[in-house]
Structure 1
């Protein structure tokens, strides 16, 4: 089951949240105000057309794993730069796909995030790239085919896409676009109607020096994702990706370079290489594996580049097979390379945790989740080792600055009503009730009072039955740190729960630890965490464990 920040409240958080009132932490600095997913756009505009408009722009961005309406606007510019008709037909595809999604009752959040529109956008771009648009009648006829094809991509996304996620654990990616575009092109060739003719195959591209072909090809590869072959369009697409996610842009450049070198080694001529035909599948594959479906780490980066090379390795055979039916290869190498990699990683490297599909954001945000989880789990591992060895001691308090320690001292004195220099259960409970406006007269407050006894024992590092200022300060700093990264940690944890029971068992916890480079639990540590064999930890209990171990 998906987790969220409020899916299960930890006992320790419930009881102690009122004790800590940290100053609002500044948000992470963004290199541009356009970075990220900009969730506020569309809803804050207040105009009825704002939501469908931003959803349409997000649909364009989702083609290259960028859920960002500002980037979508730049991508629309890239399409129009290539050909005004391409921008028009892509818009028709997006609109029809999203309308169909609404008609079939598709998830509202997914529709607003462009999940149902990006395959339709590609159907429109492909039609503009392959069609001989000979006048208004031809344009209208192709608009009709694009609308029909885009609607079918939504139906495929609901049917085939659901099957792929449920059976193989992989997203459908651009497979609906490939299938429907091949269908449309095959039907058009069969009809042989003047208003629906296809462009004749042009002459082979001129040869260029391989170094220049490689450089141009990597940049043009970004444009070729949208079937744009011009260098300016490729540069605009690259800028659109970088505006939302610099890390995604770097991953795409690396993947495009590796796949281009692989294509060159396989004999691709430098003219085709310069057009980006050897790089666009690698661009998509590297972004998908290296930062979208897995957090960017050394392991995921290596696998992403190998997958990008793999997309070029399988391209010639696919092109030959599809060429016999006079059909283009489109993004099929990317689809097969990415899906195969995800299935193989799940079986061969289970410690490389995927991103939960409903939580896909930008590579930077996935990387941040990984960093937060790694820091919290490292502290937990260190504290658990000390606890088993009977050597519990403060870790965070010695690293706190003078102002922080002073603030904690005042908070402790405020709770230490009798001035004894240590806190008893009664003082802790009284302080909690006073701060949260509660009273020991009601049953719920009495229950919380009893629960505090357990928490107090865990705070008591030296086992003397009292909580001194150092022990109190250490707990408050742990609480603040864990609270700050709580949502990111829970999101990172989601794929670990393989059986979907919202609990961690010993094998799942070991997998979680190994995923951030830590050793699995030793037998005595596992007994301390889980108690009797066969027990699991609820998410709230695990948060308590991170806080109080």
Structure 2
């Protein structure tokens, strides 16, 4: 019996090398208290000797997100990230807004919506496979250029459906690689440079918009694609009838918003505007104001009324105004810059359109990228114009 008591006493004083901890949070009504308990104890002398040793990370640890504690670094799912990517096309870091945008695209052009989703998922998946930054993945920033590549492939890409799908997969996979390369080269936001680089590289080679291109000459092996095409045309006619009787020029600001995603539909534009208002009402005002300013500039420059009604003079201006609202602290100078950006983007669109049109391709969002880059560099040169420390929206920028 004496030996058993001695053996038990020696075991109680044995040093245990484990330094794992279990963190438990007790939450009250107004505060959160974090208490730390040792999962495995050791002698006081051992603890004093190893105070500098940090505990290893363990699956046993539970770290609460109390006041002042950083949120847990948990990767979002691919669907939620894809929704964020749809929103990030117009600076909306919200999966809910991205979902509304996708539904709006499906309302105006179901085929294009499917290609946009395919492009976003492909770009995000590529970034995951090659091991690009996880925080950027969670923000949906690896996929928004891919979504735009899908939109461009749906409208300007090959008429034969399988080829358009392949074009989307290749272009969307290349978009995050270009973005990763530009990340180290640019000291400012990337805007949609990657989309323009990838899409224009393809379009300038294939020249799908030349007058002698005849989509009816493209043969399909079965009638499946023909039936789908007829169904989409019927659907488009039904949707367009909802706005029949309204002067197209009056709807040009909404149509211009939809043209950001290469959709010609005022209803889609209204849905995208609603998604923007969900995220930031003031940013929605920047979007409408910028698009209307671009349309007005097109009218003053003598542009074709049909092009103005189709929103072609407004989409770059819309993006340029929204960029100011997102990246600058709200002030009177910011509002002036927003309107100036919109007008400059429309004027640049008018200058670049004929140049790219000679090669049978659109200038996409190049006017927006150029004007947004120039305006971003104005900080410090104009009193009252200040970049936001954490860009979000006019309501939250400080």
Partner residue, 2:3: none
Please state if 1:252 is matched with 2:287: yes
TM-superposed deviation, 1:347: 5.3
- Looking at structure 2, the residues matched to 237 and 258 of structure 1 have their Cα atoms a distance apart, in angstroms, of 18
**Of residues 321, 326, 330 in structure 2, which corresponds to 1:292?**
326
Please state if 1:362 is matched with 2:388: no
* Contact 1:52-1:112 at 8 Å conserved across structures: no
Please state if 1:171 is matched with 2:189: yes
Q: How many residues are aligned here?
A: 299
Please state if 1:102 is matched with 2:128: yes
Partner residue, 1:85: 111
- Looking at structure 1, the residues matched to 396 and 278 of structure 2 have their Cα atoms a distance apart, in angstroms, of 15
Partner residue, 1:268: 303
* Contact 1:141-1:195 at 8 Å conserved across structures: no
Equivalent residue runs for 1:297-316 within 5 Å: 297-316=331-350
Q: Once the two structures are superposed, what CA deviation does each residue of 1:243-295 show, in whole Å capped at 9, x if it has no partner?
A: 11111101111111212111111111222111111111111111101x21102
> Per the alignment, do residues 52 and 360 of structure 1 end up closer, same or farther by CA in structure 2, a change over 3 Å counting?
farther
Partner residue, 1:19: none
Partner residue, 2:91: 65
Equivalent residue runs for 1:141-540 within 5 Å: 141-165=163-187, 170-189=188-207, 194=218, 212-289=247-324, 291-343=325-377, 345-346=378-379, 348-349=381-382, 352-356=385-389, 359-366=390-397, 369=398
* Contact 1:259-1:278 at 8 Å conserved across structures: yes
- Looking at structure 2, the residues matched to 264 and 330 of structure 1 have their Cα atoms a distance apart, in angstroms, of 20
- Looking at structure 2, the residues matched to 139 and 362 of structure 1 have their Cα atoms a distance apart, in angstroms, of 39
Q: Once the two structures are superposed, what CA deviation does each residue of 1:206-254 show, in whole Å capped at 9, x if it has no partner?
A: xxxxx94442111111111111101211111111111111111011111
Q: TM-score, normalised by structure 2?
A: 0.70
TM-superposed deviation, 1:186: 3.0
- Looking at structure 1, the residues matched to 374 and 248 of structure 2 have their Cα atoms a distance apart, in angstroms, of 29
- Looking at structure 1, the residues matched to 252 and 385 of structure 2 have their Cα atoms a distance apart, in angstroms, of 31
- Looking at structure 2, the residues matched to 53 and 361 of structure 1 have their Cα atoms a distance apart, in angstroms, of 22
Q: Once the two structures are superposed, what CA deviation does each residue of 1:333-356 show, in whole Å capped at 9, x if it has no partner?
A: 11111111112x135227522124
Q: Once the two structures are superposed, what CA deviation does each residue of 1:401-445 show, in whole Å capped at 9, x if it has no partner?
A: xxxxxxxxxxxxxxxxxxxxxxxxxxxxxxxxxxxxxxxxxxxxx
Partner residue, 1:125: 151
* Contact 2:116-2:146 at 8 Å conserved across structures: yes
- Looking at structure 2, the residues matched to 23 and 215 of structure 1 have their Cα atoms a distance apart, in angstroms, of 52
Query: What secondary structure is seen at the aligned counterpart in 1 of 2:185?
Result: helix
- Looking at structure 2, the residues matched to 224 and 180 of structure 1 have their Cα atoms a distance apart, in angstroms, of 19
TM-superposed deviation, 1:156: 1.0
- Looking at structure 1, the residues matched to 207 and 342 of structure 2 have their Cα atoms a distance apart, in angstroms, of 32
Please state if 1:111 is matched with 2:143: no
Q: Once the two structures are superposed, what CA deviation does each residue of 1:159-188 show, in whole Å capped at 9, x if it has no partner?
A: 1233122xxxx2121111112111222333
Q: Once the two structures are superposed, what CA deviation does each residue of 1:23-74 show, in whole Å capped at 9, x if it has no partner?
A: 78xxxxxxxxxxxxxxxxxx99x9x9x6221110000000011111111111
Higher helix share: 1
- Looking at structure 1, the residues matched to 391 and 103 of structure 2 have their Cα atoms a distance apart, in angstroms, of 25
CA RMSD of aligned residues (A): 2.7
* Contact 2:326-2:391 at 8 Å conserved across structures: yes
- Looking at structure 1, the residues matched to 371 and 171 of structure 2 have their Cα atoms a distance apart, in angstroms, of 25
Query: What secondary structure is seen at the aligned counterpart in 1 of 2:155?
Result: helix
- Looking at structure 2, the residues matched to 77 and 64 of structure 1 have their Cα atoms a distance apart, in angstroms, of 15
* Contact 2:104-2:271 at 8 Å conserved across structures: yes
- Looking at structure 2, the residues matched to 346 and 327 of structure 1 have their Cα atoms a distance apart, in angstroms, of 34
* Contact 2:258-2:269 at 8 Å conserved across structures: yes
* Contact 1:92-1:147 at 8 Å conserved across structures: yes
* Contact 1:59-1:121 at 8 Å conserved across structures: yes
Q: Which has the higher contact order (CA 8 A, sep 6+)?
A: 1
Q: Once the two structures are superposed, what CA deviation does each residue of 1:478-506 show, in whole Å capped at 9, x if it has no partner?
A: xxxxxxxxxxxxxxxxxxxxxxxxxxxxx
> Per the alignment, do residues 195 and 110 of structure 1 end up closer, same or farther by CA in structure 2, a change over 3 Å counting?
farther
> Per the alignment, do residues 362 and 54 of structure 1 end up closer, same or farther by CA in structure 2, a change over 3 Å counting?
farther
Q: Once the two structures are superposed, what CA deviation does each residue of 1:442-483 show, in whole Å capped at 9, x if it has no partner?
A: xxxxxxxxxxxxxxxxxxxxxxxxxxxxxxxxxxxxxxxxxx
* Contact 2:380-2:386 at 8 Å conserved across structures: no
